[in-house]
A and B are shown apart, each in its own frame.
Chain A
Amino acid sequence: MQGVKEKAIELLRSKSVDRVVGWKAGEFFYDLTPAVFTSVPEVEQSFVWSVFCAANLSKYLIAESRRGGKVAAFLKPCDTYSFVQLVKEHRILRENVHVVGVQCAGMCDMETIRSHGLSAVTSVAEQDGALRVETLYGARTLDRKDALGEKCRTCKSKKLAVYDELLGEQGCDEDNGRFLEVARIEAMTPEERFAFWRGELSRCIRCNACRNVCPACSCETCVFDNPDSGLRNKAAADAFEENLFHIIRAFHVASRCTDCGECTRVCPQHIPLHLLNRKFIKDINGLYGPYQAGADFDTKPPLMDFTLHDPEPSQAAVRGGGV
């Protein structure tokens, strides 16, 4: 997508917004980090739009939309769902945000690129629809789809849930088999499943990155930080408490999680945290009919709604949404 940086400059120059939320380079060229820009020179100097702009900017708008003045944000299709969900929850003040929708071909992930036997990568650029990867040992061309991060490989939709202006074309819902992995885990015996999760979660170092990046985790005070909740702990008494952190978090975001995939993307320990959320989404779809959090401003989340046709608790107890 061309013109993202230009659009940021144009918005600031014309003073139609006071701030722009975008991305800038971190330590390396591929670890882009969300940033707020207040002037044209700032944008010209450090705003980056590249194949590594995976970070979801919606959560930053909770604070930015309350800071006074107007803020523009560049949102990819998946990010717009988080945005709508947060507006629904009265967290983002919609009227203070100018949403620039950006169509997206999927964002790349350095780990995936390296998995093709590449190392010492010095630059990655789009070239004729493919990806040209320069390394200290020479250049190679990759198919973009072979370089995508997990969240983009199983992209749920290229359709933007909201935008004030759009760069690129509006897209459609996608089917990339995002529930296949969930189904694989469902097929395990309870013992196998328990062992699987104990193994995965045993790597958790409790850095809180998943919680801090999660747009659904936007509480004023997180229960894990609240001394009155009875859940706060500085050091876990045993490894199982660490595991419960993720399970409690999955429950807290159930029916509000848009499946943006940020939790897994930021996990330094490569724990597939998104699978917990997807299991909830799959069950909710099965029990209450298809529901996508953040798809619109009006639909009530199924877990916060009551209708006479809701399945009875005995039915709901059948795991896997078997109705």
Chain B
Amino acid sequence: MQRIGVFVCWCGTNIAATVDVQAVSDALAKEPGVVLSANYQYMCSQTGQDLIETAIREHALTGVVICSCSPRMHEQTFRKTVARAGLNPYLLEIANIREQCSWIHKDRAQATEKAIILGRAAIAKVQLNTPLQAGQSPVTKRALVIGGGIAGIQTALDIAEAGFAVDIVEKQPTIGGKMTQLDKTFPTLDCAACILTPKMVDCAQNEKIRIFSYSEVEAVSGFVGSFRVTIRKKARYVREDVCTGCGLCTEKCPQKKVPNAFNLGLDTRRAIYIPFAQAVPKVAVIDADYCSMLKNGKCGVCAKVCAAGAIDYTQKDELVECEYGAIVAATGYNPIDLSGYDEFAYSRSPDVVSSLEFERLMNAAGPTGGTLLRPSDKTHPKTIVFVQCVGSRCSAEGKGKTYCSKICCMYTAKHAMLCREKYPDTDVYVFYIDVRTPGKNFDEFYRRAVEEYGVHYIKGMVGKVSPEGGKLKVQASDLLDGRQLHIDADMVVLAAAIEPDKSARPLATMLTASMDTNDFFTEAHPKLRPVESPTAGVFLSGCCQGPKDIPETVAQASAAASKVIGLLSKDSIVCNPCVAQPDELMCNGCSSCEKVCPYGAITYLDKEFRGPNRTTLLRRVAQVNPAVCQGCGACTVACPSGAMDLKGFSNRQIMAEVDAICR
């Protein structure tokens, strides 16, 4: 005979304001099997939990129903409460009368009726609950970091520092990411390369860190503690273990007209190249799109000049499979494509550049050797116009992004300041909607640009840029003065919005991690769990989660690392006991469940069964490995005969809930 206790929570006024909690507990007291029905202000408080514990002991309860907030919030809390009183924690059911009832209803009578129905369904279900025991599954003590920018580097270094093995997968030939392309960093103006490259070298030298450069994640299976990841090492046609990085091949290669991606196409490189001097690993790569040896079998100069004999034109993509306990997404960002912004003449004039291109033009290792020259005629620009919020903070219907890209205000202030410092004879204008400087020493930095360096900050947007006779005619409005401005500029710099890297969306699908509409990864909780994805064992680092500057990225990268370390320091994790279980007598052996199982938890066995008239029948039946099963339930719906059932969510339990609701 069931002895069920029902506990209705007020959640202060969260529930009690819309739901008549007394009426709910009175109504549920009359349900079959219910021996006690109480309500209390805060069930999750110490007093509330004591109330439940005492009731379980005094009334010898066999099942507990708590009508409160979402089980995502407090199911774990109440399971512990129930366990403390000596009841199996899986003899508890939560009826969500907050998120699914009181918060979404205004009418008190309706909400109360619904709360009673939800409570009734939970009571019907708990009648059929069985005690479950959680097993353990081992944790592979190795982490995977996807993306080798500053976020990935910092996460990997911190994980390695704690003594765990970590692999970085980077799709470019070198790690370092966007930060390698930057010149100086705000607000301290230290050189990006000077602070980044030592970290890159640390990664390469750390015994715990393996770098898969020029590689991409091909497939992910498994779950927290034991992910199985296939990594595609793209053919670089140079043997990584042999190449010394001397760079002779990159000087002798006759194919000189390859746009240099590292300098954003502002100059050219050879078909065989090392992205930049401090690349890690410092190994050459052949660009198969331009190499004439690979394209038509004629040339072979690099192989001739390579003293180490590292060139291998026959190299193929290689697939590596590894196991990981945790995965960190650090896929970063890209500036948006500006070709759609015709009003700024980006596609029509080489002197209209993006901010990242401007970084390269200012950089000592860039195409101009650090001297600021106009791309069109290699002369010094005398008047420079910076346009902020290009593609950021747009209306939802427009072509741009609705969000603020966050970093543009600060780097534009930096660019303007550096221009004025290096070339005091230049006139620098910055057009802005708002200047946003919430960060340590950020506002002081911006004010220095205005006050000490005399940068002309003008509130207003640029309407039109038209190239005319070697000049860029800039038409803009000054909103504070309320007048139209016409500026003859030599250069226009567009602060392009940033967006998540295109590789993030397919990766999220592989990781079953969720994303928002802008393709940024979603956090498990926007405030309280900002570096975890809702998918267990998947963590977030850097701009893949949202726009960030370098200090924020590094802070988040270290936070993600600490979460990974916390996971990897465990030898095993407690499994979910709500796993699938086949009824062998009903199983057809049709393999439907195996086909849909994302975890590979189902195998088949030919088993002898007793047939009619003392015969034996050999039948193929499904077997579930409970350590691998994650309880997703896909198999239970795929099974045509209903032989597969999910413990804790059995078909009978669900039907009982439906029946209770429809009663």
Contacts and interface: CB of A to CB of B under 8 A. Distances in A.
A303 B595 CA distance: 10
Interface string B602-622: 001000000000000111100
B426 interface: no
Contacts of B604: 90
A245 to B, nearest CB: 15
A194 to B, nearest CB: 20
Contact of A219 (B588, B620, B651): B588
A226 B587 CA distance: 12
A230 B652 contact: yes
A235 interface: no
B590 to A, nearest CB: 4
B595 A220 contact: no
A262 to B, nearest CB: 17
B617 A91 contact: no
A204 to B, nearest CB: 21
A215 to B, nearest CB: 12
Contact of B595 (A226, A229, A305, A308): A305
Contact of B638 (A222, A304, A308): A304
A216 B598 CA distance: 24
Interface in B595-649: 595-596, 598, 604, 617-620, 638, 640-643
Contact of A230 (B595, B617, B655): B655
A89 B641 contact: no
Interface in B494-542: 506, 509
A114 interface: no
Nearest to B505: A308
A169 B619 CA distance: 37
Contact of B642 (A216, A226, A256, A305): A226
Contacts, number: 62
A304 B595 contact: yes
B493 to A, nearest CB: 38
Contact of A220 (B585, B598, B638): B585
A256 B638 CA distance: 11
B661 to A, nearest CB: 14
Given A252-B640, A305-B595, A220 B509 contact: no
Nearest to B641: A219
B586 interface: yes
Given A90-B590, A226-B586, A300-B595, A219 B640 contact: yes
A304 B585 contact: no
Interface residues of B, number: 26
Contact of A89 (B588, B596, B652, B655): B588
Interface in A174-232: 216, 218-223, 226, 228-230
Given A229-B651, A230-B655, A308-B509, A220 B588 contact: yes
Given A89-B590, A89-B591, A90-B620, A220 B641 contact: yes
A132 interface: no
- The SS class assigned to the A binding surface is loop
Interface in A229-245: 229-230
A301 B638 CA distance: 11
Interface in A270-323: 300-301, 303-306, 308
Contact of A223 (B589, B595, B642): B642
B592 interface: yes
Interface in B44-59: none
A226 B645 CA distance: 14
A304 B652 CA distance: 24
B592 A220 contact: no
Given A230-B655, A308-B506, A222 B641 contact: yes
Contact of B588 (A66, A91, A306, A308): A91
Contacts of B640: 216, 219, 252-253, 256
Contact of A304 (B587, B589, B592, B655): B592
Interface string A62-79: 000010000000000000
Contacts of A220: 585-588, 619, 641, 643
Contact of A229 (B506, B592, B642): B642
Contacts of B589: 89-91
Nearest to A303: B638
Contacts of A252: 640
A212 B462 CA distance: 75
A236 B11 CA distance: 44
Nearest to A308: B509
Contacts of A230: 651-652, 655
A91 B620 CA distance: 9
Contacts of A253: 640
A304 B655 CA distance: 24
Nearest to B654: A230
A308 B596 CA distance: 14
Contact of A91 (B590, B595, B638): B590
B595 A218 contact: no
A229 B583 CA distance: 12
B641 A223 contact: yes
A298 to B, nearest CB: 12
B591 A90 contact: yes
A230 B659 CA distance: 10
Given A229-B651, A230-B652, A221 B585 contact: yes
A253 B638 CA distance: 11
A95 to B, nearest CB: 14
Nearest to B650: A228
Interface string A83-94: 000001111000
Closest 3 A/B residue pairs (Cβ): A219-B641, A89-B590, A230-B655
Given A220-B643, A304-B595, A305-B595, 4 more contacts: A89-B591, A221-B641, A222-B641, A256-B640
Interface of A: 66, 88-91, 216, 218-223, 226, 228-230, 252-253, 256, 300-301, 303-306, 308
21 contacts: A89-B589, A89-B590, A89-B591, A90-B590, A90-B604, A218-B588, A219-B586, A219-B588, A219-B640, A219-B641, A220-B587, A220-B588, A220-B643, A226-B586, A226-B641, A230-B651, A253-B640, A303-B638, A304-B638, A306-B598, A308-B509
